[in-house]
Amino acid sequence: MIVSAVLAVLKIVLGILANSTATVSDGFESASDVFTSGLVFLGLLIASKPPDREHPYGHGRFEILTALAVGAILTASGAVISFHALQRVGTARAAPEVLAVWPLAISICAKSLMAFLKRSYGRRIGSAALVADASNDTVDVLSAGTALVSISLALWNPERLAVADDFGGCAVGIIVLVLGIRVMRDTVFQLMDTMPDDRLMVQVRDVALTVPGALGIEKCFARKTGLRYHVDLHLEVDPGMTVLESHDIATEVRDRVRARLDWVADVLVHVEPHGLDMIHQTRVDAGLLPRGKD
């Protein structure tokens, strides 16, 4: 947040002094980063609160809502930046000065480092909001690079290409707008309980089947509730064992999955008899069940 605030002040002040629309536009984009990063910080604080009576699954969904809000803010900011930049196209004014280049170069270096750090840590803890903020920084690098190219064109041929600076400011806004739409799309998928990668679900099945007495997995689902996932697992056990024995196996499966997979918050295990189709067919053959009906 501090870095974004410093960059915003540099870009806006030096952009105005250097008469550069692209630099000022990128400065307002950096100013919005201060708010979005603060929003992510608040979301992570609330998401880390432990479960309570009103929220038995924890407060993790607030972190996903934070990412959705970040996407909405980016979309709105991009639209406003593009609109104001287009308004300046065709207006008579002096060409931008070399002074406008320096804050953009500093921003590219600083934001590249911030994007790398946020994305690495965000993926490690499973934070959608932090990864979204990392994507925001990545686009900052792209937008600053776009502004730098447009200013360079205007400086190279001020008489014919001065308008490139205005179009560069518009391009910055479009880049931010596209990012915002992408972030909102990804977070909406999480709010709709979209399943994680198949690789992660294979991990759950493999760990569950290491428990003695776990004979198979009929179904396995997962939904994200913030930084981690809640898993619903249908475990097959020997149909001849007691309820207590099957309960002990289910408890061991739950504890082992949680212990070995740090991305799993909790596991709900539903116990089913192994070979249920064979048992059903045997009852049909014995005349205990009518054929063609459950």
Q: Which domain holds residue 77?
A: 2-191
Task: Domain count for the chain, please give it.
Answer: 2
Would you state the pLDDT for residue 89? 67
* Vertex 37: Cα angle to 42 and 188 (nearest 5): 80
Q: Are residues 177 and 207 in the same domain?
A: no
pTM of the model: 0.61
Beta strands, E only, 171-215: none
| pLDDT at residue number 269 | 94
Q: Do residues 127 and 240 share a domain?
A: no
Query: What pLDDT is stored for residue 212 in this prediction?
Result: 93
Domain boundary pick from 191, 218, 245: 191
Are 103 and 152 part of one and the same domain? yes
Q: Mark whether 99 and 153 lie in a shared domain.
A: yes
CB 183 within 8 A of CB 71: yes
Q: What is the pLDDT of residues 247-264, one digit of tens each?
A: 999 999 999 999 999 888
Strand partners, 16: none
pLDDT at 251: 94
Q: What's the pLDDT score for residue 246? A: 92
| CB burial string 26-51: b at 16+ within 10 A, e below | bbbbbbbbbebbebbeebbeebeeee
* Ranges of the chain whose pLDDT falls below 70: 88-96, 158-166, 169, 226, 276-294
CATH number of domain containing 29 = 1.20.1510.10
Does some domain include residue 292? no
